[in-house]
Amino acid sequence: MNLIDKYVTEVGKHLPRSQRADIEKEIRSTLEDMLEERGQASLKDEAAVIALLKEYGEPRKVAESYIGPRYLIGPRLYPTFELVLKIVMAVLFALALAGLAFSLSRSSLTGPELLNTLGRSALDLFSGLIAALGNIVLVFAILERVLPAKELEKEAAEWNPADLAKEPDPDRVSFGEQVAGIFFLTLFLIVFNVYPNIIGIGFFDNNRWVFISPILSEAFFSYLPWINILILLQIGFSVYLLRQGMWNTGLRIVNILLEVAGIALAVVMLRGPELVALKAEQLAGTPLEGSAQLFTTLGNVIPMLVLTIVIIVSTVEVGQMVYRLLSARPLSR
């Protein structure tokens, strides 16, 4: 096997099996033609072949020129992936600290018991972080392959310092904002449709972990199909928006309609039956029994507070969208 054959084989190691034979044949033919054009028709001229292969490029880079670089999460999505990861990890760490503080307040703080509580909390935190990391990587890996290549890889352009003085285009879609939104909406779908039992109240009782679940009421699950429809529509809209890259009148109107639908559903849920079914009886015989009234009250207040915030935030966004629509279209006289 001559150097060109070995080089082509090395390039083929980085190519998909389905395309390998055709690309290897093309590269071999190209190299032989280049060698012949240089007046070095003989493959035995090792020095000439080495010079040619150096010029042609490193095998991995040559393979990437045919199929593009391969990665789980590419450079376009990675900054958003890193931001989401930091947020989720920080929230999990804060929750773990709160749970540890609660556990320590309920323990006698003896040596073995303290070590047992600390060890259990550390293991729970570690398993939670690993599970969160896996889910985040999975979602972003799917986005990497679903979103169009033009949105993930921009051709390198000459950087112009004058661009720093330009005002940001208000019609340009915020890539990071949309991707982060898709991730959290997908996470909501997974948790509330596949793992609703993880929504509950957990605490240590005499060195035993007690978890009260489910606490979501039947009323909440009656709304879940409508919530799912709205979220799927929002995810689809966000993906389309990323493909377009720029806002226009039609897209703003669709976004307003989605926001108004979300507001309407939130209002219906706010005026409807209780969304949390936590009862004082569920806390009987636990360290939380003395605070049962407080927890049941919080179980009713927190969903109402969340829905109120959703309504306020969505209303503000609708107002901003309407303002941009009106300011973008001059009034006719």
pLDDT value at residue 155: 41
pLDDT higher than threshold 60 for residue 75: yes
Confidence class of residue 156 from pLDDT cuts 50, 70 and 90? very low
pLDDT value at residue 217: 85
pLDDT higher than threshold 50 for residue 199: yes
Measured CA to CA, the distance from residue 27 to residue 85 in angstroms comes to 41
Q: For residues 293, 296, 298 and 300, what is the CA-based torsion angle, rounded to 10 degrees? A: -130
Tokens 């093309």 — which residue? 26
The structural domains of the chain, with segments of one domain joined by +, span 3-67, 216-333
Residues in the chain: 333
Q: By mean pLDDT, which of 43-52, 175-184, 228-237, 262-271 is the weakest? A: 43-52
Report for 85-94, 99-108, 198-207, 232-241: range of highest mean pLDDT: 232-241
pLDDT value at residue 205: 61
pLDDT value at residue 283: 64
Confidence class of residue 332 from pLDDT cuts 50, 70 and 90? very low
Per-residue pLDDT tens over the stretch 109-153? 565 666 776 777 778 778 878 887 888 888 888 877 776 555 444
pLDDT value at residue 97: 75
* Helices assigned H by DSSP within 57-174: 59-67, 78-106, 111-146, 149-152
The separation between the first and the last C-alpha atoms of the chain, rounded to the nearest angstrom, is 80
Give the residue-averaged pLDDT of 67-87.
76
Measured CA to CA, the distance from residue 68 to residue 157 in angstroms comes to 18
pLDDT value at residue 192: 85
Amino acid type, 284: A
Which DSSP string corresponds to 221-275? Answer: HHHHHHHHHHHHHHHHHHHHHHHH-B--HHHHHHHHHHHHHHHHHHHHHHHSS-S
Measured CA to CA, the distance from residue 234 to residue 314 in angstroms comes to 13
pLDDT value at residue 152: 44
Give the residue-averaged pLDDT of 61-81.
77
Tell me what the pLDDT averaged over the chain comes to.
77
Cis peptide before 214 (omega within 30 of 0): yes
Separation in Å, CA 51 to CA 29, 37, 38, 164, 255? 17, 14, 11, 43, 58
Contact 152, 76 (CB under 8 A): yes
Measured CA to CA, the distance from residue 77 to residue 245 in angstroms comes to 15
The reported pTM is 0.57
Confidence class of residue 229 from pLDDT cuts 50, 70 and 90? very high
Give the residue-averaged pLDDT of 209-228.
83
pLDDT value at residue 159: 47
Query: H-helix or E-strand containing 73?
Result: none
pLDDT value at residue 154: 46
pLDDT value at residue 131: 80
Give the residue-averaged pLDDT of 213-234.
89
Which of left, alpha, beta for 169 (phi over 0: left; psi -120 to 50: alpha)? beta
Of the chain, the percentage scoring pLDDT greater than 70 comes to: 74
More confident of the two residues 106 and 88 = 88
Amino acid type, 69: P
Per-residue pLDDT tens over the stretch 176-195? 788 888 888 888 888 888 77
